[in-house]
Amino acid sequence: MRLSSFLFEQVAAILRKDFLIGLRRRATFAAMMMFALTAVASLSLSMTGGFVEPKFLAALLWVVIFFAASAGIAGTFDDEAQAGTLPTLKLYADAQAILFGKMLYVFLSLTMLTIFILPIFLILFDVAVENFLLLSLTILLGLVGIAAAGTLTAAITTSATVKGGLFPILLFPITLPIFLPAIALTEQSCTGGAFDASSLIVVAAFDAILILASSILYDYL
């Protein structure tokens, strides 16, 4: 019990540290949000007056979220790597606490990004949401998977010299099993189609696999 409480405190400390750094260096949040806003606005203007299939709009939303997330997640370990403090951090905090603290920070950052961009997306593309609960749950589970895969990928590519190009290349195939059912669920939430519980279960199960795999693999990095 005391051990789990200690790990929880370490996770909270890592999360608090990253948020304080993020607040002082707002470039990452700005890059994520400006990319998402520019992409959505540009695509909306290019499609003005034309009918767009709901499935295409659902896929477009997840493409925007993916690339906006890639702009921010890739640098998750950059502060420690540039300052050379990552080995020291691992001496004072458990590796699992570092991983889950970073993962939680990434998830909350992606949540704030989605809260910012989703209303703009729905308004600009004139999308009516028939099942907002399903849409919210789908996005929540999708962001959990992106956060888990993105945090591990960021740790793997920390020392890469071409991280900007390597990160999305590694992240995309890992998160593809999440995107495919998430796109179908997003379409259902907008069209009011029959609810497919199996797709939601697939996303949740893959989230669990990614979190477990990240927890196991991070100890060897």
- pLDDT, one tens digit per residue, over 134-167 is 999 999 999 999 999 999 998 888 766 666 678 8
- pLDDT, one tens digit per residue, over 70-97 is 887 877 777 777 666 677 777 777 888 8
pLDDT value, residue 149: 93
Residue 50 DSSP one-character state: S
Cβ burial of 81 (10 Å; 0-12, 13-18, 19+) is middle
Domain ranges of the chain: 2-218
Q: In three state form, how does the secondary structure of 74-106 look?
A: CCCCHHHHHHCCHHHHHHHCCHHHHHHHHHHHH
Q: Which helix (H) or strand (E) holds 51?
A: none
Burial 123-142 (b: 16+ CB within 10 A, else e): ebbebebebeebbebbbebb
Residue 125 DSSP one-character state: T
The pair of three-digit structure tokens given for residue 47, joined into one six-digit string: 């499609």
